[in-house]
Structure 1
Amino acid sequence: MLVNQNLRLHRFFKFTWKVDILMLLTCLAAFLFDKYVILTYTPVPTTLPALIGTAIAFFIGFNNNQAYGRWWEARIIWGAIVNDSRSWARNLLAYCSIPVGSDITPEELRFRQRRMIMRHIGFLYALKEALRKTKDTTWAFYLSEEEAKALKEFTNIPNAILDLQSHDLEQLQKDGLIEGFRFLALNDLIRAFCDGMGKSERINNTVFPTPYLYFTRVCIWIFIILVTMAFAESSGLWSVFFGWVVGFIFNVTHLNGMHIMNPFSIDDLPTGVPISSITRAIEINLLEALQDEQVPDPMVPVRGEYIF
C-alpha cells in the first residue's frame, strides 16, 4: 500500500513507460494514415471521438468503482482479523483457569495458551502467503516441528491450522480449563477467522469479468486513434502529442483501477492491502500479551513510500 501521497518519478515511469511508447507509435501511425489515406476521402469529425470518449469514461468509472470495492472489502476483512486476533489472545489468557482438584499445573496451562496463540500467528503468516501465492514457510516457525511437518501435506494450510486450534480448544473444555460460554466465545472467534479466510480467498480467486476489461481496453485504443486523426488536419504533427496526452489520461486512469483489483497481489505498483504489515502488527500485539522477550519491530515503509 502506498503511504506517500506522491509517486516517485522512477516508479511513475516504470508504471507507464510501456504504454506510453505504444501510444506514441499508435498516434504516429494514426497521423500518417489520416494524412495519406483518410483525407483523400473524408476527414474524421471531431464529434466522433468526443462521443466515444464519453462512453469510455462510463466504462472506466464502473471498472474502477468495482476494483475499489474489492480493495476496500479486503481491507475491512483484515481489519476484522486484527480485532479478532487480539480478542483471541486476550480471551485465551483471561478465560482459562485450573479447576479445583485438577492435576494440571499452571505451567502446563501456560504452555497450552502460548501454543495456541503462537499457532494463530502461524495461521496469519500461512494465510498471507497463500493469498500471495508464494512459497514462504515462515508460518512453520510458530508451530511445533511435528505440526509443521504434518501440515505441509495439506493443500490449505491455514484451514488445517484452524483445525488444530479447534482440537486444542475442545481439549481445554474436556479438561475443565474453560467453561461452556467462554468456550463458545473462543469457538466463535475460530469461526470468524474461517470466515475472514474464506472471504479473502473469494476475492483472490474471483476473476474480474473479462469482457469489461477487454472491451474497455479495446475502446480506449480506438479512441486514441480517432482523437489523433481528428486533430491531424488542424494541428498537423502536433496531433500525435495531443493524442498521446488524451490517451495517457484514459489509460492511466484505467490502469490505476486494474492495479487495485487484486488487493493481495504484489506488483510493480504496490497498491494492495498491506497484509504483511498487518500480520506483523498482530504478531507484536500477541507476543506482548504473552510478555515475550523477543518482540519484532513494526514494518517500516520501503524508502518511506510503501508497505506490503
Structure 2
Amino acid sequence: MTERPDLAIPDARRGNWVETIAPAWFRPYAQLARLDRPIGWWLLLWPCWWSLALATGAAGEPVPNVWHGVLFFVGAVVMRGAGCTYNDIVDRDIDAKVARTRARPIPAGRVSAKQATAFMILLSLIGFLVLVQFNLYSILLGMGSLAVVAVYPFMKRVTGYPQIVLGLAFSWGALMGWSVTFGGLAAPALLLYGAAVIWTVGYDTIYAHQDREDDALIGLGSTARSFGAATPAWLTGLYGATVLLVLMALATAGSGVFAYAGAAAFGAHLAWQVARFDMADGDRCLMLFKSNREAGLLLFVGLVADAAIRSL
C-alpha cells in the first residue's frame, strides 16, 4: 500500500486501521481522538483499573466489578479523545510549527476548529453518560477533573514543568476506582494517585524528548528541556518515588504478596526504561514511552491476582 502523506501521523504505526479501513470522512476525527494511537487511553485507563483492583482486594471481593471496568474503558477512550481534541484546538498554531505534529488534522487543514469543537462536545457527552452510571460521590469527583484538563494545554506556555499538570489530569482514575467501590476516598487511593501522577511525569518526560529541539525554538516548556542531560537521574528519582508510593498504597490497603509481586515487576520494568533511555534517540524514546502499557499491566495483574487469592 502506498502511504498517503495527508494521513501519516509520525508517532502512529504505519498501516493502522485508521489509515487503511476507516471511512475517509471519519479519518481526521479518528486522528483527533488518537484512535490510531491507543497507548494514550491505555495510560489513562491503568490508574482506573489499578484503583478498582486495589479496592476489590480491600473490600474482600474476588474479582473487580466487570461493569465498572467496562465503563472505565469506554470513559478512557472517549475522554482521552476529547482531551486530545481540545489540546489540538488550543495548540493548532503551535502544532503547525513542530515537525511531529504539523500533520495533525487541524494544522493540516483537514478539519476546522469548529468541526473539531463539535466532535469534542460529542465525545464529552458520551463521557458524561459513562460518569453518571456511578455513585453521586464519584460523579462529582469525576467532574472535578475537568478544571485540571482545561488548564493543561496552556501550561507549556508558562512553565517548564507542564507534565506535572498532565499527571494530575491523567491520573484521576486512581481516585475513581476506589470511589466507585466505597463511595468515598481513603489513604490507599490518595497514595496510588500520587504514584500515578509521578509515573506520568516520568513517562511523558521520555516522550517529550522527541520534541525537545522544536520546543526550544518556539519557546515552549517541558520537563525534557528542564531536566536536560540530567534526565536519567530525574527518571530514576521519579520512578523510584512512583514505586515507593505504590508500596505505601498496598500497605495501607492491606494487600498481600501477589500485589507486592506485581509492584516489583512494575518497578523492574521502570528500571529497565531508565537503563535503556537515550535522550538523543527519538525512536527509542517513543518505544520506551509506549512500553508503559506493559508496565501498567504488570501491576494490574498483581492486584487482580492478590484480590482473588485473598478472597479464598
TM-score by length of 2: 0.31
Higher relative contact order at CA 8 Å, sep ≥6: structure 1 or structure 2? 1
Which of the pair has more CA radius of gyration? 1
TM-score by length of 1: 0.31
